[in-house]
Amino acid sequence: MSKHKQRLARRQQEKRPSPSATNTGQTETPTAAGHLPEHATTRPLRQAAVQQMQQKQGNQVVQRQLGHDGASGTPPSIQRIAPIVAAELGVAVFSAGAPIVLSGNLSCSAATINYMHENTPPDAQWTRATTSFRLRVWNPRPLIGGEESVYFRLSYEYNGHDLRDVSVTCLQDESMRLVSSTFSINFTAMAHSPSSDPKAAIRYQIGGVWDPAGRGIDSFWGYLQVKSDGTMTLLVQSEQGWVSSRADSFGEVSTEPVEGEPTPETPEPPPPPEPVMHLTDVTFEAGSDRITAGDEEALVSWYLGLPENGRRQIEDGSLQIVLEGHASTTQPGPANRLLSRRRVQRVQEILQDIAGSDARFRTFARGEYEAGTPDEVEDENERIVLVSVEIVEAASSE
């Protein structure tokens, strides 16, 4: 490579910005979980208050707080949930799946419920709660009658604002045995809090019939309510008082954090392709703008050998060709500058004829001012026009 080519390549390299180091460190933002208002803490409803309320209302109402044991009086586990502005959560959307139906003498129908705000943060901390509850069933038949029970499993996930996967399942193995009698119950799913409320609540409306075979039929009704703070409420009553809920209807509640799905790592975008410089030079006769024999053919061959996408950009005017004219030091500086300009114009005319009228050029007439020889020296390495273009190579499709 001639010294002019070397200088041009060095200038182009210096113009390119060096890639900046990428900071891969991550900063964790502290949460506000340790600074909560009083209402963010759930409190137990004491057993005495439950019984007093039952006597006052004339029915069996049961409320169970997560982590509260009515017998031991241990306090509930505190849900540390940072408050979120209702506007940030958006509207809560209620959805219920198809009911799961259990048929036979002991029949049950219940759907799975979701009640979630549309802007629930993807990193919200969810807790899965599982418990069981029972309904007291009085069998009035003599000899074989008495108090029986029907058991159910309740499970749901909550985060202080939303509820998901709320489901009720009848536990046949643990429930009373029915031969000729029938017990049917339906749990009808519905939203219980307004969609604009930041704390969701759902309710199963309970309805059913207890037929103890020959002793009359007892219709019963009530509700099972679950809130996004983890609390549950159960109320069941009937025409003849044979079916009801009790103060100890709920069993032990087990909770566990729900592991969130790992966030897929976003791959780093590939670096943009580096442009490739394509260089050639055209030599001229001493003191003239006449091209040396064979150099025009070499120039055209160089152009036609450029990548196809580069030639298209040159020919539609979106990519410039750079022309730098030079001269030896055998004439005064101004004369050599003008001579180098004529040499540039000669090369431009050839390329314009080949690439078309839309092709654009950036031209320099440097004369002898960048020559590497002393004055009054004729050097064929100085009487040239350097031709260069930077082309981003098109990705190869395999």
207, 283: one domain: no
Which residue among 257, 285, 318 closes a domain? Answer: 257
Which residue among 257, 283, 312 closes a domain? Answer: 257
Residue 23 lies in a domain: no
Overall domain count for the chain: 2
Residue 225 lies in a domain: yes
d(CA 208, CA 244): 12
Residue 105 lies in a domain: yes
d(CA 277, CA 288): 28
For the chain, where are the E strands, in sequence order?
61-64, 92-96, 100-102, 106-110, 113-117, 127-139, 146-158, 163-171, 182-191, 201-211, 218-227, 232-238, 243-244, 254-257, 275-283, 320-326, 360-367, 384-392
119, 250: one domain: yes
**Residue 375: strand, helix, or coil:** coil
217, 117: one domain: yes
Q: Which of 132, 129, 225, 128 is nearest to 171 (CA)?
A: 132
d(CA 169, CA 167): 7
d(CA 132, CA 232): 11
108, 71: one domain: yes
167, 314: one domain: no
Residue 158 lies in a domain: yes
Residue 9 lies in a domain: no
Instruction: Read off the pTM.
Output: 0.49
250, 312: one domain: no
pLDDT per residue rounded down to tens, the chain (398 residues): 555 666 666 666 655 554 444 333 333 333 333 333 343 333 333 344 434 444 444 444 444 444 444 333 333 443 444 445 555 778 888 988 888 888 889 999 999 999 998 888 887 889 999 999 999 999 988 887 889 999 999 999 999 899 999 999 999 999 988 888 999 999 999 999 998 898 999 999 999 999 998 888 999 999 999 999 999 999 999 999 999 997 778 989 999 998 866 667 888 888 888 999 999 999 999 999 999 999 999 999 999 999 999 999 999 999 999 999 999 999 999 999 999 999 999 999 999 999 999 999 999 999 999 999 999 999 999 999 999 999 998 765 54
**Residue 119: strand, helix, or coil:** coil
306, 348: one domain: yes
Q: Which of 323, 322, 331, 321 is nearest to 371 (CA)?
A: 331
Q: Which domain holds residue 347?
A: 274-392
d(CA 301, CA 295): 10
* CB-based contact 325:363 (threshold 8 Å): yes
Which residue among 204, 231, 257 closes a domain? Answer: 257
Token readout for 247 is 């103060």
Amino acid identity at 268: E
Residue 269 lies in a domain: no
368, 322: one domain: yes
210, 282: one domain: no
150, 231: one domain: yes
Check which CATH number belongs to the domain holding 296 and give it. 3.30.1330.60
